[in-house]
């Protein structure tokens, strides 16, 4: 934790190369002892570096582990085979990227304060919340209140997970206030997510609040903020990519097609099985063939292997990667409304997703029309003999929830939010879950293990040390 500023330098330097900023941005000799001493770095450069870091944190090994533990992906060789079998140790995890990027987001806010830029501060607060939300969702209790002042708190305390969620909501409230200011600067040249469109940042902040309220089971609040959230796919927060290997390609493409060919794939995973069950079924309103082919392609690494589609689908080299999207926003609405018994509203929210899927829209890309069908549902479709009642229940609410949960699972391909759902749905009332099988053993993985570096250097690490099967307070 206390060395996070060193990693900030790495992210910032990498950003300089990608975004063509000046080459000597960190020259202050106090950088390793006082992150606030970085006075010669302007706010736009800090923004670019932080955005890059946030994007990478949504495509990293942690996300692949979460995807494997949610049953979306399968590990087939080397370390990823062990991950898929839930075999991990403290050596497998690191907080250097997480807290380095969150630290940059905090520096953004300090710099914004120094120049009187409320919009810049608001963006920094949204990015901070994105990163810390990932940390607490995967690890549980984590440092937050004392995490960014190494001089005063070299070994920060671990805040309780419930308290972290509460503090994150406060951070996002402050972000919304700042992003609602009448004037400010958004630096469109450095903002490669939203090109300086502050209204889109404001919507993303509301969707993120809704996501966190869904995690904690506060469905009324989740609806309230999702209604102010991302209103169309055109406002998705997506990490853009290019075609240069080692520079700006999609990190899933790099993993599947360049650096770790054959280490992981979709053979044996639950996601393709779920999608296959929605192809050629009695449900004449849905055909997932086109999206299935957009996600998966056979034989890229071995004969008949089911691989990520790195040729003409979701994992091509320049595919954008989702951070937070309209699909997630509407599915938050749909689930929260359904859980509160607002079934007509939930159906409307679900059908809004289906209308966009019917147009072939997915995370900034488009998939084919051959075998693409997402006709609007009616509530009768979820009745006891309805064509969309996939669990053959007489409970209309449960049948509709199952479809919403299935759609979330599909839309969260290679996003750690699928693992959050995997754990959250075990206790969300009414309990409706996908039949995701265990890869091995009798226990479901519930969390990531605290990194060995943190165990070695911070006496405040929770004791006894939890293992990967210890449940988290927010996902009991």
Q: How many residues does the chain have?
A: 476
Beta strand segments in 303-342, E: 306-308, 321-324
Token pair of 181 as six digits: 């200011």
Is the pLDDT at 9 greater than 50? The verdict is no
Eight-class DSSP state of 412? T
The domain limits of the chain are 1-196+444-476, 217-414
What pLDDT, on the 0 to 100 scale, is given for residue 42? 92
Which H or E run includes 322? strand 321-324
Integer Cα distance of 415 and 66 in angstroms: 8
Integer Cα distance of 269 and 74 in angstroms: 5
Integer Cα distance of 352 and 251 in angstroms: 30
Is the pLDDT at 17 greater than 60? The verdict is no
Per-residue pLDDT band for 1 (boundaries 50, 70, 90) equals low
Contact call for residues 328 and 211 (beta carbons, < 8 A): yes
Integer Cα distance of 96 and 5 in angstroms: 9
Token pair of 62 as six digits: 């942690």
Arch. (CATH architecture) of 1-196+444-476: Alpha Horseshoe (1.25)
Q: Write out pLDDT tens, residues 356-414.
A: 999 999 999 999 999 999 999 999 999 999 999 999 999 999 999 999 999 999 999 99
Is the pLDDT at 37 greater than 70? The verdict is no
What pLDDT, on the 0 to 100 scale, is given for residue 458? 97
Q: 208: closest CA among 133, 158, 137, 271?
A: 133
Is the pLDDT at 34 greater than 50? The verdict is no
Beta-bridged to residue 345, according to DSSP, are: none
Contact call for residues 204 and 129 (beta carbons, < 8 A): no
Q: Write out pLDDT tens, residues 169-206.
A: 999 999 999 999 998 999 999 999 999 999 999 999 99
Instruction: Determine the straight-line distance between the first and last CA of the chain, rounded to whole angstroms.
Output: 27
Per-residue pLDDT band for 246 (boundaries 50, 70, 90) equals confident
Angle between helices 198-215 and 417-424 (to 10 degrees): 30
Per-residue pLDDT band for 41 (boundaries 50, 70, 90) equals confident
Sign of CA dihedral 335, 338, 342, 343: positive
Cβ count within 10 A of residue 75 = 23
Average confidence score pLDDT of the chain:
92
pTM of the shown model: 0.92
Q: Which residues fall within 8 angstroms of residue 17, CB to CB, at 6 or more apart?
A: 247
Integer Cα distance of 472 and 476 in angstroms: 6
Beta strand segments in 18-126, E: 74-75
Is the pLDDT at 232 greater than 60? The verdict is yes
């Amino acid at each position: 934790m206390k060395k996070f500023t060193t990693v900030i330098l790495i992210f910032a330097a990498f950003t300089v190369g990608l975004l063509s900023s000046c080459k000597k941005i960190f020259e202050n000799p106090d950088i390793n002892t006082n992150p606030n001493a970085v006075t010669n770095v302007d706010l736009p450069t800090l923004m670019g570096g932080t955005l890059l870091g946030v994007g990478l944190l949504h495509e990293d090994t942690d996300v692949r582990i979460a995807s494997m533990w949610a049953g979306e992906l399968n590990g087939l060789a080397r370390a990823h085979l062990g991950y898929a079998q839930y075999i991990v140790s403290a050596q497998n995890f690191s907080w250097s990227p997480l807290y380095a990027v969150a630290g940059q987001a905090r520096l953004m806010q300090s710099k914004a304060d120094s120049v009187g830029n409320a919009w810049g501060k608001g963006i920094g607060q949204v990015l901070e919340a994105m990163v810390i939300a990932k940390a607490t969702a995967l690890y549980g209790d984590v440092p937050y209140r004392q995490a960014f002042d190494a001089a005063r708190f070299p070994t920060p305390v671990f805040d309780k997970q419930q308290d972290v969620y509460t503090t994150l909501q406060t951070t996002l409230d402050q972000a919304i206030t700042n992003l609602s200011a009448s004037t400010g600067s958004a630096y469109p040249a450095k903002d490669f997510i939203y090109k300086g469109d502050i209204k889109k940042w404001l919507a993303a902040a509301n969707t993120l609040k809704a996501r966190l309220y869904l995690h904690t089971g506060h469905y009324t609040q989740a609806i309230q903020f999702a209604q102010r959230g991302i209103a169309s796919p055109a406002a998705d927060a997506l990490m853009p990519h290019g075609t240069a290997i080692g520079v700006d390609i999609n990190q899933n493409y790099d993993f599947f097609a360049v650096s770790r060919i054959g280490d992981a794939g979709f053979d044996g995973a639950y996601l393709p099985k779920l999608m296959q069950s929605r192809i050629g079924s009695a449900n004449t309103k849905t055909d997932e063939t086109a999206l299935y082919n957009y996600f998966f392609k056979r034989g890229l690494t071995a004969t008949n292997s089911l691989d990520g589609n790195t040729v003409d689908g979701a994992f091509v080299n320049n595919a954008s990667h989702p951070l937070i999207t309209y699909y997630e926003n509407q599915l938050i609405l749909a689930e929260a409304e359904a859980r509160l018994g607002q079934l007509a509203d939930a159906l409307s929210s679900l059908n809004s997703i289906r209308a966009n899927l019917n147009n072939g829209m997915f995370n900034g890309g488009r998939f084919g029309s051959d075998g693409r069908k997402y006709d609007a549902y009616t509530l009768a479709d979820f009745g006891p003999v309805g064509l969309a009642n996939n669990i053959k229940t007489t409970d209309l609410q449960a049948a509709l929830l199952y479809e919403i949960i299935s759609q979330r699972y599909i839309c969260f391909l290679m996003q750690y939010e699928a693992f959050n759902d995997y754990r959250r749905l075990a206790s969300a009332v009414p309990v409706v879950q996908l039949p995701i099988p265990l890869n091995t053993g009798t226990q479901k993985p519930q969390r990531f293990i605290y990194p060995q570096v943190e165990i070695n250097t911070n006496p405040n690490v929770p004791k006894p040390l939890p293992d990967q099967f210890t449940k988290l307070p927010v996902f009991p």
